[in-house]
Structure 1
């Protein structure tokens, strides 16, 4: 039985990891200064965007989910004849229409897939499941890595779905937004009131860099620092402490809206690498994709790991 894992381009993972495991990336449309781009999380295109400055503030940038019809066509062309079972994990439905549109596409695919498989000479039935990851960016990446490890165990389809959906509630995410004003403006245009004007004002006027922590996409400020570097150190210290205390899956996912030289200069990054290596944990370090950079703003950082219930300050 051939099982395929689909993620969308809001999912941040290292390119080599995605290539090694043959992950299919569902694209997202990005519109920057009235120019439309298709974000497939291609590393070359992403690097071009960073170098061009199109992801910097001052440019009008928006993202839009593919329609149900576009996703249907992709699934029919690229998925139904290649796999017998497909799992599609999307960015949290509270932040995007991708889950809704992918679910609608799945329903039409399941009604029409037989003709495509017959034409390709592929025997047997096809099944598909769309799962709301309840995560953003690095959190999506962590869930995808954990799902791949579950696939290696040969679980039944129902058991696999149960394990994946249960694990989504055990992922903890840290976000360091570089520019709260950028975040507030993006949220305002989306109609998202989760970032208050007051917090954005304080961040801009007093140069406060917060650490936002929580399960999945629902986080709260747990630290307010006077510099990005101090915020990064707090998150790295948290991650090292949690790694040493034990994780529920042997991965830490870290995505950064920075150039690679800037990523390598992050305070504590080598200490985190060393801690992961000592504990047999793989650090999934990636450059934040176009979609996640537009959402959080360039220069932002997102870290995710899976663990038992705890608090951020337990590891400071």
Structure 2
């Protein structure tokens, strides 16, 4: 039984390797350069070194229906008997729809592929919308690894992942409001207005954005990025101490992770997770994520009972 994710899911490379998680890549084109966003650290480092995150004219090409079919029929159906494919929320990207469409052809054609290779038995594929983005995709993936390790049956896993998707919260603190507004407007999203971008930049006011059940929008504002990070991490500490539905806190940063560790309040979050037995997964933000929300942004994701943010 295995897992597949899209490249926008912010999880550490070591975690992906440990659990043999396949990554569906996104192609990013900007300023004459092409990047294969597949969570490879070398490619992320190349992107950061070229300092292209501020380029607003980037084009992203998510994994197509045909790409997904090839990935499964050439590899995954021969290695696994069941694969759960977890994607970024369908409200923000066509990836989920592409994977869903590809699954019909995969389930129709896998038998011949497996028979030719001498692999017996049926193959199952289940597509799960995490209803979240970036670090917010992580808790469902983490829970899937725990359930697989525990030997749970596919129907049990599928039902549980749906519950976790509906109780996962992701928060983001951006650095560059102009960049964020430019990219969101390109997608037809008006959640960051020009007025907010101009005033926010002039006064160093940053919005705290939340994604919950596929819906994104501001839930607070702070003066200064470092103060905002401190508030966000303090909120995460309170949620850890209140109890999480999945014992993991996922954090991603649009840059060198050493910079994340130096942000105010982060050490307190690390300590709170350790005391509560919660795994803290730190990952670089995907190239796709940095192109869309700007370099230097922080996102965090966790699953908890329904609540209102108390910033």
TM over 0.5: yes
Q: 2:235 aligns with which of 223, 227, 238?
A: 238
The alpha carbon displacement at 1:61 in A equals 1.7
Asked if the contact 2:8–2:289 (Cα under 8 Å) also holds between the matched residues in 1, the reply is yes
What residue number does 2:274 align with?
277
Q: 1:70 aligns with which of 57, 67, 77?
A: 67
What residue number does 1:200 align with?
197
SS of residue in 2 equivalent to 1:151:
helix
Asked if the contact 1:173–1:216 (Cα under 8 Å) also holds between the matched residues in 2, the reply is no
Q: Distance in 2 between matches of 1:194 and 1:213?
A: 11
Q: Distance in 1 between matches of 2:183 and 2:112?
A: 43
Listed as ranges, the matches of 1:286-305 within 5 Å are 286-305=283-302
Q: Distance in 1 between matches of 2:84 and 2:259?
A: 34
Q: 1:176 aligns with which of 173, 177, 187?
A: 173
Q: Distance in 1 between matches of 2:139 and 2:60?
A: 22
Q: Distance in 2 between matches of 1:285 and 1:296?
A: 18
Residues 230-275 of structure 1 show CA distances to partners (whole Å, capped at 9, x for unaligned) of 0000011001111111111110000011213212211111111111
Q: Distance in 2 between matches of 1:214 and 1:291?
A: 17
The alpha carbon displacement at 1:306 in A equals 0.9
Q: 2:147 aligns with which of 144, 150, 153?
A: 150
Q: 2:23 aligns with which of 21, 25, 33?
A: 25
The alpha carbon displacement at 1:59 in A equals 5.4
Asked if the contact 1:139–1:216 (Cα under 8 Å) also holds between the matched residues in 2, the reply is no
Q: Structure 1 unaligned runs (5+)?
A: none
Distance 1:164 1:125, change over 3 A: same
Asked if the contact 2:5–2:21 (Cα under 8 Å) also holds between the matched residues in 1, the reply is yes
Listed as ranges, the matches of 1:125-274 within 5 Å are 125-274=122-271
Aligned CA-pair RMSD: 1.5
Asked if the contact 2:90–2:214 (Cα under 8 Å) also holds between the matched residues in 1, the reply is no
Asked if the contact 1:179–1:203 (Cα under 8 Å) also holds between the matched residues in 2, the reply is no
Q: Distance in 2 between matches of 1:219 and 1:104?
A: 25
Q: 1:115 aligns with which of 112, 123, 144?
A: 112
Q: Structure 2 unaligned runs (5+)?
A: none
Asked if the contact 2:56–2:183 (Cα under 8 Å) also holds between the matched residues in 1, the reply is no
TM-score normalised by L of structure 2: 0.96
Listed as ranges, the matches of 1:44-123 within 5 Å are 44-55=42-53, 57-58=54-55, 60-123=57-120
What residue number does 2:307 align with?
310
Q: 2:36 aligns with which of 35, 38, 54?
A: 38
Asked if the contact 1:213–1:312 (Cα under 8 Å) also holds between the matched residues in 2, the reply is no
Which moves more between the two structures, 260-269 or 173-182?
A: 260-269
Q: Distance in 1 between matches of 2:47 and 2:172?
A: 22
Asked if the contact 1:72–1:108 (Cα under 8 Å) also holds between the matched residues in 2, the reply is yes
SS of residue in 1 equivalent to 2:192:
coil
Q: 2:7 aligns with which of 6, 9, 23?
A: 9
Q: Distance in 1 between matches of 2:201 and 2:188?
A: 21
SS of residue in 2 equivalent to 1:309:
coil
Asked if the contact 2:88–2:137 (Cα under 8 Å) also holds between the matched residues in 1, the reply is yes
Q: Distance in 2 between matches of 1:222 and 1:92?
A: 19
Residues 175-216 of structure 1 show CA distances to partners (whole Å, capped at 9, x for unaligned) of 101111111110121222333233222222322111123524
Q: Distance in 1 between matches of 2:210 and 2:246?
A: 19
The alpha carbon displacement at 1:75 in A equals 1.1
